[in-house]
Structure 1
Amino acid sequence: MPKPIAGIVYNDIKPIACKVASEIEEKLAGSGWDVRMTTGVGGILEYSTPGSPVCNTRIEQLTPPNFDRDIEFAVVLGGDGTVLSAFRQLAPHNIPLLTINTGHMGFLTETYLTHLDEAVDKLLAKDYEIEERSMLTVRVFRNDAMLWEALTLNEMVLHREPLTSMCHFEVQIGQHAPVDVAADGIIISTPTGSTAYSLSAGGPVVTPEVPVLQLAPICPHSLASRALVFSDRESVKVFPATPNRMVMVVDGNGGCYILPDDHIYIEKSVYPARFIRLRSPEFFRILREKLGWGLPHIAKPTSVELP
């Protein structure tokens, strides 16, 4: 009878992640599992240059050679960047991920190294739930030819270059009439990404299970330009309505230059991000622990004695 298969994705520039990856491999192998390991490097996107606009790997080709649909789960060791990278690599194969924080904020991670033994025991006992979150497929076209594509869990950002002025963006959501947004940039985000760059740009927080996407302008030139939430069944086309070259970035990780004749096509991906949850998902708890949302106010004194 073949052994069950597990995967490990780790940040190989962090000694603690490398050490723990070896420990988990040993424990899983000792429990009768076939363990396959890879680093998060394979999911790190590249940046194109004006002279080399096509530089990325197709979405389905980012999966490591020894990872496939037979893998029951994968453990991710790192921070949020490693988690984002791991989902770009493994989401096309529908592999659920247990994310363990060895970084700083760890907003996307499920647990900490202090609870590692308990987490692995729950994995082996299959004592967990799987939470699915939507991802986006982002594609760049020039003269109807696709130049660049990526899978993203958080957001796509299109913004001006540092030394250029404010830009105009023509945005078409589904079959609705295009709108013009004058701003330094725009963000198209998932509910997961609503707590990332979009939050800093003034967008609302969206709970993960809500089937929507969000458009948030960056430093808009109008009081009427505010974040917009719309159905994730709608695709989005973005045209740079300006003669200036722009920069597109996904998940704060990689991207390409966008020229005036290019356009970006964004839609909900057919590949969800599948998070392993060791306890029932509690989004407000994460907001409170990571961002301080909803903490009680410090009581004020009822009276003040003056000297």
Structure 2
Amino acid sequence: MYNDDMEDGVKRKINRVEVNGIFYEYLEAVLGKPYLKKLNELLKDSVYKGPEYEFEINKDKLYTFEQLNQMVQASPKELKEALESMSVVKINDKIRLLDFEYHFRVLSYMLKLIDENSWQLDEIDYEQTIDTLSDLVPREILSDLFDKYAVESQIVDGLQLYRYDEHKVCSFFAKVLLHDAGKFNLDDFLQAWRESVPEGMNPNEEMLYGIAIIDRKAQPNIIWALDESVLPENITERFKILFDVKEKWTVPEISPYVKSLTTEKVDVHALLAKYARASKMNGIKYYSAKHGK
């Protein structure tokens, strides 16, 4: 049924319709957090231990970046950032986890060239590094690890030189010392750590944030490994574990352990405000469990 009317010279048509129902609930697509646990599951069978072990690998379980992006709930940018935080390399366009011991061996080869060539720490030659070690290590591995650890430093006679990132190198060597070590006397660890890194690099405790726990209540003081990647994705469970292993945390100490749980709208401080209790000691803010044990 309709009737015609004129408004400002324009013919208007009015239709009668029947309303069958009103919906009060609806589905809306919203931006979610990346689900990276699936990434670890997909890569667990891809571990690269060296060319002599490649016969053990199931080639059907190796994936390119594009394939991973189809299977993991994450944007390309989020996936790229996640992979950059992991020990991975690209071989024949496939993303591979790098075996911890093999990673240490290759990085040690690279750092040893500093002394062998009498280089300053900011005078690392990329081409010479790759050419010298390519008989021992595939060039793809060398190139990927160089990109991971080296940053541009200076240009000499038209040649771009590099330096190794002190924080990344020292943090990795701390992981090596703590790997399967259990609880370690802190003073012994710090001495071994200083002696293990290239001369001129200076380890400090900030480099341990996100990879180790220091207990200064114990006598003697002790340290042990705790990597962020082993913690549960559930926020409540993660905070429970963190406050079980260490009663009080500063923001810099706890941030690496909860940063992956943040969103564009909820940062580390917002998470701490919700799941932890703040207190001050000697002018320093600490966070502890929301409810006392």
| TM category, shorter | under 0.3
Q: Whose strand fraction is larger, Structure 1's or Structure 2's? A: 1
Which one scores higher on RCO, CA 8 angstroms, separation ≥ 6?
Answer: 1
Structure whose alpha-carbon radius of gyration is higher: 2
Q: Whose helix fraction is larger, Structure 1's or Structure 2's? A: 2
TM-score when normalising by structure 1: 0.26
